[in-house]
Chains A and B, each alone.
Chain A
Amino acid sequence: MKKAIAALIAFLFFLMFVNILNSDSEEFKGIPKFGEVNLTERVSNKYISKSVSGDSGEIVYGKTENAESGSANMVTSIVVNYRSFDTLGEVTVLFLAATGVAILIGGGQRKSLAISVNPIVKISARIIATLLLAFGAYVFIHGHLTPGGGFPGGTIIAAGTLLMLVADDKKRTSKLLKILEGTMGFLYVVIGIAGLLVTGSFLKNFLPTGTMGNLFSAGLIPIIYSVIGLKVGAELSALLDDFFAEEGRK
């Protein structure tokens, strides 16, 4: 009976939302038809042509120099340049979540596994985890040229840590990870304040943006994405280690 009422409520919600989606009235103009978006009406148009603070002509890959934001990946230029302050808040939320997990369930010791893991598995896990760390670093350093960036890069690093923790039941992550994480969060704020002092706006880019498409371009974007990548990687690795810790024995 309770399930039927729940299903009815969910179905009514579905009908209501589909109705809003298909209606042509003036009240719901905010949701356009699928695929018929007019980008020139949106603020994204300025982000694509990198002309928020003045028109700079057409952007061409490999030729344009000193554009407003030198990142070839437009999503990255929004996440770390135009809306960097949002990202700082988001990193703070992630830090709070990781701290909450550590307070609630962290601190215990690991229980040893019922079976013994073969040494071949342990050593090859170590090799693969090294490759995963290198790949994670590659993803966040090239965040302004290719898909990826700090968040997936950090998660890939955490996946490497997960592999090490699964393969070896004596292994714990280092206490230095918390220090690394705190330092990186501090560094992000320091970069923001440096932008405030040099240009007058918090987290604004003050380095030359270079030629679009080069690895050493885009000013602050690769630096901030490396900071975010290391921070997210350290945070999620410590979080996974908290889930491996058993309660009770200190």
Chain B
Amino acid sequence: MIQYFSIMLIAIGIYGLLSQKNLVKLIVSLNIMELGVNIFIISIGYVADGKVPILSPIVNKSSMNFVDPLPQALVLTAIVIGVGVTALALSLVLKVKESYGTIELDEIRGDNA
């Protein structure tokens, strides 16, 4: 069930990237796509009735039924890269605002002027 919602999030992100004209909205769309991709990658490692992949005094043997830890490790790093990319993109938006005086793509291209 959660897989369909994550694909829906990716589709919504693509729709936003294609239809929006505000630069900040485009970055919001990218973030939503990233959320969808992250949830999808985690969901392909899910095992039915699996346990959290952390050994503890209760879950204490490696032969128990765990979920796949490898997609989680990949997503863990992807999230932190995502915040770096977002910050760099937003600082570029600030520079665009400084040079052109606007953050609407139409006005930057000069379509409506």
A residues contacting B by CB (< 8 A) are 2-3, 5-7, 9-11, 13-14, 17-18, 21, 31-32, 34-37, 39, 42-44, 47-50, 58-62, 72-75, 78-79, 83, 86-87, 90, 93-94, 96-98, 100-101, 104-105, 146-147, 149, 151, 155, 212-213, 232, 236, 239, 242-243, 247
Contact = CB atoms under 8 A, between A and B. Distances in A.
B24 to A, nearest CB: 14
Interface string B17-28: 011000000000
A151 B53 CA distance: 18
B25 to A, nearest CB: 13
A78 B69 contact: yes
B100 interface: no
11 contacts: A6-B19, A7-B15, A14-B11, A17-B7, A34-B2, A37-B44, A74-B53, A75-B53, A75-B73, A212-B55, A243-B91
Contacts of A37: 44-47, 68
A10 B70 contact: no
A34 B3 contact: yes
Contacts of A147: 54
Given A39-B66, A44-B69, A60 B91 contact: no
Most buried by B among A21, A50, A75, A232: A75
Contact of B77 (A58, A87, A104): A87
Given A58-B63, A101-B87, A94 B14 contact: no
Given A10-B14, A37-B44, A83-B73, A90 B3 contact: no
B110 interface: no
Chain A interface secondary structure, helix, strand, loop or mixed? helix
A10 B4 CA distance: 14
Interface residues on B, range: 35 or more
B62 A50 contact: yes
A35 to B, nearest CB: 4
Interface string B57-101: 101111100101110110011011101110110111011001000
A249 to B, nearest CB: 14
Chain B interface secondary structure, helix, strand, loop or mixed? helix
Interface string B33-47: 000000000011111
Given A2-B19, A6-B15, A14-B8, A75 B81 contact: no
B67 to A, nearest CB: 8
B19 A21 contact: no
A86 B62 CA distance: 25
Given A34-B43, A79-B77, A97-B87, 18 more contacts: A13-B10, A13-B11, A14-B11, A17-B10, A18-B4, A35-B47, A47-B69, A47-B70, A48-B62, A48-B69, A61-B60, A61-B61, A73-B53, A100-B88, A213-B57, A232-B80, A236-B83, A242-B91
A58 B82 CA distance: 37
